[in-house]
Amino acid sequence: MSSHEESRMGLLEGITAPGDLDRLDDRDLGRLAAEIRGFLVSAVSRSGGHLGSNLGAVELTIAVHRVFRSPADRILFDTGHQAYVHKLLTGRREGFERLRTRDGLSGYPNRAESVHDIIENSHASTALSYADGFAKAHTLRGQHDRNVVAIVGDGALTGGMAWEALNNIGAARHRPVVIVLNDNGRSYCPTAGGLARRLGELRGRGPGEGGETGTFFEELGIAYLGPVDGHDVPAVEAALRRAKDLRVPVVVHCVTVKGRGYAPAEEDPVERLHSPGPFDPGTGVQHPKPATTWTGVFGGTLVKLAEQRPDIVAVTAAMLHPAGLGGFAERFPDRLYDVGIAEQHAVTSAAGLAYAGFHPVVAIYATFLNRAFDQVLMDVALHGLPVTFVLDRAGVTGDDGPSHNGMWDLSLLQVVPGLRIAAPRDGTRLAELLDQAVSLTGPSVVRFPKGPLGPDLPAVATAGPLDVLARAEGEDVLLVAFGPMTAVCVAAARTLRDAGIAATVVDPRWVAPLPEELAELASRHRLVAVVEDNCRVGGAGDGVARLLRDHGVDLPVRTYGIPRRFAGHAKRAQLLEEFGLTGEAVAAEVAATLESRDRHLVRHAEPV
């Protein structure tokens, strides 16, 4: 391709692999960076996605791919949502037309997309441990010509796992690992903690004044280069080449600006357009969002409860605004603790607060609580402490793919002794159950999905603590609904009624402990069907089956939920349909099960 043709079509269109960067000079690299930013703003404005973190990593990623040779050199991203530029430089420009859609481009590194994506790490603070493992493997195999590069940014270094890895990396000077610290001073919000303060001191030294000694990294046995202007490609390249030649563990400290080059992101005081939905690329204004969301109801209710209860405090792990705590932080700034990306610390710190007489509310995404299961079990539940865990994004979340679907919490948490778990079906029940949870003297969980709230679903009757949402003449099937699946069950009951099948829909409100009245109600039906927004294995359905067995109720129990597999990225509605979690699909399955059961009973009743 001639330089004239390349100029006319744009440099980015000529980049199909990292090696294409080698022919560009410094002026070309500046043009390429500008093109990438324009492309990202345009693409993300249509699909939504992670914008600010990628705008801040443009020059840094270009420099990494000019110095190192992927995939022979292992290039690892942590967090993975800063890898959009990497995707562009590895030939996936056209894929951005379907970013974060079913069968489209993932918003994170994805091994199925490219040999240049090594790990699919959308949970933060993991890449350094992977890097340590790769470095050990290269040493064992005598592959001394391969490099391991971990790009750590967006607050990922605050995670405890990252520090466990640094401790091991620094202890082995003969195993080189290049740690590119993409220091934009933020995760969603400004990075919390003493680490942020110390990095700020290093940033204040100015380019090149850090030297190789006298930093806390060096004290761990890891060389330090920087600080480097992360938006100066030649400067970053020079630091990376030096780090590569040292052949020891080394941190290259690159100072960047989240949202760089796009004024609406740079000027955003809250999240720097961290993860916007579709927006107007000219202004950065996001398209209208639902007026009422699950997260919004939680946040507003918590503020009201805290106004009545001075013992209520809130804890979050770098998710203050996404988890709905923005209003709480404004109203009670001294009672809000953002510990950074450190879920294990968040839980046990909350246990300490509870020991001292407070009632902590730990607001966290359901998928991230997986990382602190041991702390929930041994540090909170073992001591019977009054800590309430509020799990946002429970169940199918969709666009962010397999790592973010909150489909594991009910399977994990039901084994925890003394832990009460609530699954509200609508906004009114969310407020009521949160009120109940913070009034308990032991640990509790309130879980709810991502997205807009549907209309409230009032009960038509009650059966003890059970809410009955639908009841028909006759009692063929009992639909036990949890959380937002209640609306699905009500729709299924209508379809079954039209087919002449009588269905009762009941919402226990609490997944654990289940009301014992459920067993008596179930015994009056021919079939029990449980519908939940969680993995079918070990989920609410297993809890219902266990309750019936314990009470001697011998009935078939069918569970409809998320299959035990990693679900790809797609819209929530698409995945729910795929999993059969719609009113029509549940009704069809229930009808088929009853028909099969009737045929079986007839066969066994016939004389031999």
Average pLDDT for 376-386: 98
Record the tokens describing residue 340, joined without a space: 């950074």
Query: Which of 400, 415, 447 lies at the terminal end of a domain, its last residue?
Result: 447
Q: Are residues 441 and 467 in the same domain?
A: no
Average pLDDT for 58-66: 98
Helix/strand/coil for 337: strand
Q: Which residues are known binding-site members for thiamine diphosphate?
A: 81, 122-124, 155-156, 184, 262, 343
Average pLDDT for 575-604: 86
- 281 is a domain residue: no
DSSP secondary structure letters along 124-156:
SS-HHHHHHHHHHHHHHTT-TT--EEEEEETTG
- 397 is a domain residue: yes
Q: β-strand 336-338 against 461-463: which pairing, if any?
A: unpaired
Q: Are residues 240 and 321 in the same domain?
A: no
User: First-to-last CA distance in the chain?
Assistant: 84
Q: Are residues 138 and 241 in the same domain?
A: yes
**Which of the pair, 156 or 310, is modelled with greater confidence?**
310
Q: Binning pLDDT at 50, 70 and 90, where does residue 206 land?
A: low
Query: Which of 425, 447, 469 lies at the terminal end of a domain, its last residue?
Result: 447
Weakest-pLDDT range from 12-26, 256-270, 501-515, 580-594: 256-270
Q: Are residues 108 and 238 in the same domain?
A: yes
Q: Are 18 and 41 in contact (CB under 8 A)?
A: no
Q: Is the pLDDT of residue 5 over 50?
A: no
CA atoms within 13 A on the CB side of 359: 23
Q: Is the pLDDT of residue 152 over 90?
A: yes
pLDDT, position 479:
98
pLDDT, position 1:
40
Helix residue ranges, H only, 506-607: 517-522, 540-550, 572-578, 583-605
Q: Where is 199: in which H helix or E strand?
A: helix 194-203
pTM of the model: 0.90
Q: Are residues 443 and 538 in the same domain?
A: no
To the nearest whole number, what is the mean pLDDT of the chain?
91
- Residue of 59, 237, 343, 532 marked active site: 343
Query: Which of 395, 416, 447 lies at the terminal end of a domain, its last residue?
Result: 447
C-alpha 157/C-alpha 140 separation (Å) is 27
Q: Are residues 349 and 473 in the same domain?
A: no
Average pLDDT for 564-568: 90
Q: Are 331 and 146 in contact (CB under 8 A)?
A: no
DSSP 174: T
Q: Is the pLDDT of residue 188 over 60?
A: no
Among residues of the chain, what percentage have pLDDT more than 70? 92
pLDDT, position 441:
97
pLDDT, position 290:
77
pLDDT, position 607:
44
Q: Is-cis flag, bond preceding 79, omega within 30?
A: yes
Sheet architecture: strand order including 359-365: 336-338, 312-316, 359-365, 388-392, 444-447, 420-422, 510-512
Q: Is the pLDDT of residue 435 over 60?
A: yes
Q: Binning pLDDT at 50, 70 and 90, where does residue 289 land?
A: confident
- Residue of 37, 74, 87, 371 marked active site: 371
Taking alpha carbons only, the member of 245, 253, 214, 276 closest to residue 147 is 245
Q: Which residues are known binding-site members?
A: 81, 122-124, 154-156, 184, 262, 343
Weakest-pLDDT range from 244-248, 471-475, 499-503, 511-515: 471-475
| Type of residue numbered 156 | A
Q: Binning pLDDT at 50, 70 and 90, where does residue 214 land?
A: low
Cα separations in angstroms, 461 against 481, 498, 506:
15, 21, 9
C-alpha 10/C-alpha 12 separation (Å) is 6
Weakest-pLDDT range from 469-473, 582-586, 602-606: 602-606
Helix residue ranges, H only, 356-394: 366-369, 373-374
Give the distance, in angstroms, between the CA of residue 287 and the centroid of all CA atoms in the same chain: 22
pLDDT, position 352:
98
- 288 is a domain residue: no
Q: Binning pLDDT at 50, 70 and 90, where does residue 191 land?
A: low
Average pLDDT for 451-463: 93
Q: Are 187 and 261 in contact (CB under 8 A)?
A: no
Q: Are residues 309 and 252 in the same domain?
A: no
Average pLDDT for 97-110: 90
CA atoms within 13 A on the CB side of 260: 25
Record the tokens describing residue 227, joined without a space: 């600080």
Q: Are residues 466 and 430 in the same domain?
A: no
Contacts of 293 (CB under 8 A, 6+ apart): 451, 452, 453
Average pLDDT for 46-63: 94
Sheet architecture: strand order including 557-562: 461-463, 466-470, 503-507, 477-481, 527-535, 557-562
C-alpha 341/C-alpha 98 separation (Å) is 29
- 273 is a domain residue: no
- Residue of 37, 92, 100, 258 marked active site: 258
Record the tokens describing residue 130, joined without a space: 């992977």
pLDDT tens-digit map of 244-262: 999 999 999 999 999 999 9
Q: Is the pLDDT of residue 203 over 50?
A: yes
Q: Are residues 522 and 559 in the same domain?
A: yes
pLDDT tens-digit map of 386-419: 999 999 999 999 888 888 899 999 999 999 999 9
Q: Are residues 242 and 116 in the same domain?
A: yes
Q: Binning pLDDT at 50, 70 and 90, where does residue 608 land?
A: very low
Let me know if 343 is a catalytic residue: yes
pLDDT, position 605:
46
Q: Is the pLDDT of residue 2 over 50?
A: no
pLDDT, position 472:
83
Sequence-distant contacts of 220-223: CB under 8 A, at least 24 apart: 220/166, 220/167, 220/170, 221/169, 221/170, 221/171, 221/173, 221/249, 222/166, 222/169, 222/170, 222/179, 222/248, 222/249, 222/250, 222/251, 223/248, 223/249, 223/250, 223/251
Q: Are 507 and 528 in contact (CB under 8 A)?
A: no
- 285 is a domain residue: no
* CATH number of the domain residue 421 falls in: 3.40.50.970
- 456 is a domain residue: no
- 91 is a domain residue: yes
Q: Binning pLDDT at 50, 70 and 90, where does residue 210 land?
A: very low
Average pLDDT for 40-65: 94
Q: Binning pLDDT at 50, 70 and 90, where does residue 568 land?
A: confident
Q: Are residues 465 and 441 in the same domain?
A: no
Q: Are 490 and 457 in contact (CB under 8 A)?
A: yes
**Which of the pair, 318 or 514, is modelled with greater confidence?**
514
Q: Binning pLDDT at 50, 70 and 90, where does residue 108 land?
A: confident
* CATH number of the domain residue 566 falls in: 3.40.50.920
Q: β-strand 466-470 against 461-463: which pairing, if any?
A: antiparallel
pLDDT tens-digit map of 507-519: 999 999 999 999 9
Unique residue bearing structure tokens 């099969």:
596
Q: Are residues 171 and 311 in the same domain?
A: no
Q: Pick left, alpha or beta for residue 185 (phi over 0 → left; psi -120 to 50 → alpha; otherwise beta).
A: left
Let me know if 450 is a catalytic residue: no
Domain span holding position 112: 3-266
Q: Which residues are known binding-site members for Mg(2+)?
A: 154, 184
Count of structural domains within the chain: 3
Q: Is-cis flag, bond preceding 513, omega within 30?
A: yes
- 423 is a domain residue: yes
pLDDT tens-digit map of 337-374: 999 899 999 999 999 999 999 999 999 999 999 999 99
C-alpha 581/C-alpha 293 separation (Å) is 21
Cα separations in angstroms, 219 against 216, 223, 250, 289:
5, 9, 12, 48
C-alpha 150/C-alpha 121 separation (Å) is 12
pLDDT, position 597:
81
